[in-house]
Amino acid sequence: MREIQTKPNLFKRFLSALIDYSIVFGFFYTYLMTFGTETSEGYVVTGFPALIPLFFWFFYIVLLEVFYGATIGNSIVGLKPISLINHNGELSFSQSIKRHLLDPIDMFPFGLIGILTISNTEKNQRLGDLWAKTTVINT
């Protein structure tokens, strides 16, 4: 693994996640209200159209990170995820997927698990970063 100095950057990481997931949930809510069918339990979208919010998450979170080096939230606050195993530091597709598949665990409850792992790991990594062999640095 690469030798790299990191900082916890808890506030920046919180703000970045807040920005990114506000965009994702905003899209989901708007999509549901626009294309959903109202039922007694709320709005629903069924069939293939129900996958569109998942595709949006995938494009916005995973593909932006792989092809542009960071999501909009990370770019705004000056953070960048990097690979600890690729010499150029660029994330692979699988690393980005691994990082974000564990977002629900890292963000539960109220980000406590992410905060604890970032604060108590040598390279300030959350669970997704540990699994993907990545970390987040200041740009």
Residue 89 belongs to a domain: yes
SS3 122: coil
Q: How many domains does the chain have?
A: 1
Domain containing residue 16: 10-138
pLDDT at 1: 53
Residue 5 belongs to a domain: no
SS3 40: coil
Contacts for 49 with CB less than 8 Å, ≥ 6 apart: 35
46-101: pLDDT as tens digits: 999 999 999 999 999 999 999 999 999 999 999 999 999 988 899 999 999 999 99
The whole model's pTM is what? 0.90
Residue 1 belongs to a domain: no
- Gyration radius from the chain CA atoms: 16
Residue 4 belongs to a domain: no
pLDDT at 2: 53
Closest to 62 in 3D by CA, of 107, 18, 101: 101
Q: Is beta strand 79-83 parallel, antiparallel or unpaired with respect to 134-138?
A: antiparallel
